[in-house]
Amino acid sequence: MNPHAPGIAVVTGAAGGMGTAIARKLHTDGRRVLLADLDTAAVDALAAELSPDGSTARGIKLDVGRKAAFEEGLAVCEDLWGTPTIVVNNAAVTRAADLMTLGEDEFTDVLTTNVNSVFFGCQVFGAAMADRGFGRIVNMASLAGQNGGTATGGHYAASKGAILTATKIFARELAARGVTVNAISPGPHDLPVVRKTVPADKLDGIVAGIPVGRLGSASFVADTVALLVSDDAFFVTGACWDINGGLYLR
């Protein structure tokens, strides 16, 4: 019998979009899921939908810009179910901005949210997993971190590039202790955040520029996460899996 099944998953940014799709998939696969977000009403509602009695899904407020918040989140998870076996660092802010007039405060805000969320998520949860000898971490990067961005700002692209490097750093650090750390880099997907960030009059042009001719599916990204967090994924670490419709080819 698999000693790690069904597993305990923490998903940040679970209140909507990609995070919700990932959380639903992991829960459907039999994982207990801690839904972390600043939007407590949304994650509490999702948790109630997934698990009316709260036995397999719970919402929690977590400010991913603060290391202490991850430590608090870990304590909550351990009190509920135990040390997590899966962490999906999905939370991020997506913004467009003019590169040459981008202000310091806005730059710092995006970098703090997007990079801290992955770095301290890997550090805090990764250490706890390593102490148990098993763990799967998936960091949500972006095509913008590989090609410099298309419809998003330079601060967003820079933050996602940092996530790719952080993934390699923690993968190397934790591999010998049973914890894998990987990244997924999605291109434009059919999500509210994409339609909010990209003006309607420009979205058709972006879609036309995607070699496969359409936006991506969040459900496929969720399936990819599920594959990377499986026990048999022990031989994949420090990797970045591209899901971009052919916009970036290695």
> Can you give the pLDDT at residue 96?
84
Strand order of the β-sheet with 240-243 is 57-61, 32-37, 8-12, 86-89, 135-140, 179-186, 240-243
Asked if 11 contacts 57 with a C-beta cutoff of 8 angstroms, the reply is: no
Which amino acid type is present at position 108?
T
**Annotated catalytic sites, by residue?**
156
Q: For residue 59, what are the β-bridge partners? A: 35
Counting beta carbons within 10 angstroms of the beta carbon of residue 77, is it exposed (0 to 12), middle (13 to 18) or buried (19 or more)?
Answer: buried
Average pLDDT over residues 185-214: 86
Token code pair at residue 224: 């990819």
Query: In the chain, what are the domains?
Result: 8-243 (3.40.50.720)
At residue 5, does pLDDT exceed 70?
no
Q: Per residue in 25-75, pLDDT tens?
A: 999 999 999 999 999 999 999 999 999 999 999 999 999 999 999 999 999
pLDDT at 1: 30
Q: What string of DSSP letters covers the chain?
A: --TT-S-EEEEETTTSHHHHHHHHHHHHTT-EEEEEES-HHHHHHHHHHH-TTSSSEEEEE--TT-HHHHHHHHHHHHHHTSS-SEEEE---------GGG--HHHHHHHHHHHHHHHHHHHHHHHHHHHHHT-EEEEEE--THHHH--SSS-HHHHHHHHHHHHHHHHHHHHHGGGTEEEEEEEE-SBSSHHHHHHS-HHHHHHHHHTSTTSS-B-HHHHHHHHHHHTSGGGGG--S-EEEESTTSS--
For residue 164, the model assigns a pLDDT of 98
What the block records as the tokens of 130 is 């390593």
CA 99 from chain center: how many Å? 25
Mean pLDDT of 209-224: 96
Give the chain's mean pLDDT: 94
What 8-state DSSP symbol labels residue 209? T
Cα–Cα distances (Å) from 37 to 13, 157, 187, in that order, read 5, 22, 23
Other beta carbons within 10 Å of 128 = 21
Percent over 90 (pLDDT), the chain: 84
Q: Dump pLDDT digits (tens) for 136-153.
A: 999 999 999 999 987 788
